[in-house]
Amino acid sequence: MEYDTAGDPITGLKWTRKTTEKIASELKSIGIKVSSNTVGKLLRDMGFSLRVNQKKIASAGKPISKEEKEIRNCQFIYIRHLRETFAQKGYPVISVDAKKKELIGNFKNPGTSYSLEPVLTNDHDFRSYSIGIGIPYGIYDTLVNHRHGVVYVGTTFDTPEFAVESIEKWWTSEGDRRYRNAKEILILADGGGSNSSRSRAWKYEIQHKLCNRYGISVTVCHYPPGTSKWNPIEHRLFSEISKNWAGIPLKSYETIINHIRTTKTSTGLRVNAYLAEKAYEKGVKISEPQMSNICLQKHETFPKWNYTIKSMKMGNYF
């Protein structure tokens, strides 16, 4: 734990970002076999404790009609079919999304970490107290033998341009090398945000910064409204990142990048992270003439959620 323990040089307070499982694994490597439960008991005996927020306030959700459930189910079946088809061909299937914005500074971060005393943070989460914001946009390779994620942390706005440029960086740094003969990509995305199914800019950026630039075809499948938690990146990548920095104030961009990069799981998940310092503009409008130059083919199955965009080199078609 030498490199994972921090301390206050004034009070002598020490804390660690390691989970009980990680501590047990480290002890095993030096010949001390102990379970994670025993590690937790020992930490409590030493004065460490877990502190957590509690969800106690109930809220009523909007009821879902039988028709909506059938539509959702059909879209899930269609997504599964396309995922299996692309996987059989050896083509990439990536899950993308933007994690919630993070204020960079000494702010309370949800979750718990072992410490002798609570870590003191600002009593208010005012934006004026921060040194900036971090917008993590992730790309998760869903193929079982990869289990790899990349996160680009933006510093301005979560825009379609930021989303597509993050995917482009993944393709040039990892995807193209990993899938040398692939000419098609399947993207799984939520229905809103920077990768919204209704966004013209999202489709325009895919056309020009992925399809035309690299001569590839991009198929996009959006999850129905209210089902974003089914997007693989949510529970396979973002949840692990949240666990890794749980209870730790994200005081600097270096802190957020380091905690994303050190996110690992026993099943083999590895994550790269980079800071995207480019300033992105909100509200970019795409004109009708610009839209007419997009090689867009809507699928017969829920065309507003499923479509393919091809390179201009492949010819325009509708």
Q: How far apart are CA 303 and CA 313, in angstroms?
A: 23
Rounded (10°) CA dihedral 159, 315, 94, 188: 70
Widest distance between CA atoms in the chain: 69
The answer to whether the beta carbons of residues 78 and 176 sit under 8 Å apart is no
pLDDT of residue 132: 94
Q: What is the pTM of this model?
A: 0.78
pLDDT class for 10, splitting at 50, 70, 90? very low
DSSP label at 171? I
Six token digits for residue 40 = 């937790």
Q: How far apart are CA 172 and CA 103, in angstroms?
A: 29
On the question of pLDDT at 316 being above 60, the answer is: no
Average pLDDT over residues 243-270: 92
Q: pLDDT of 96-114, one tens digit each? A: 999 999 999 998 888 777 7
Q: Where do the domains of the chain lie, and which CATH numbers do they carry?
A: 1-48 (no CATH), 63-314 (3.30.420)
CB hemisphere CA count around 301 (13 angstroms): 18
Six token digits for residue 168 = 């482009």
pLDDT class for 241, splitting at 50, 70, 90? very high
Six token digits for residue 169 = 């960086």
132: left (phi over 0), alpha (psi -120 to 50) or beta: left
On the question of pLDDT at 317 being above 50, the answer is: no
Q: How far apart are CA 264 and CA 273, in angstroms?
A: 13
DSSP label at 264? B
For residues 44 and 21, the model is more confident at: 21
How many other CB atoms sit within 10 Å of the CB of residue 185? Answer: 23
Distances (CA, A) of 138 to 55, 159, 286: 27, 13, 25
Which long-range contacts (C-beta less than 8 Å, at least 24 apart) are formed by 269-272? Answer: 269/147, 269/148, 269/149, 269/236, 269/237, 269/240, 270/147, 270/148, 270/149, 271/148, 271/149, 271/150, 271/151, 271/237, 271/240, 271/241, 272/148, 272/149, 272/150, 272/151, 272/174
Helix (H, G, I), strand (E, B) or coil at 7: strand
For residues 43 and 308, the model is more confident at: 308
Residue in 6, 259, 246, 251 with CA at minimum distance from that of residue 106: 251
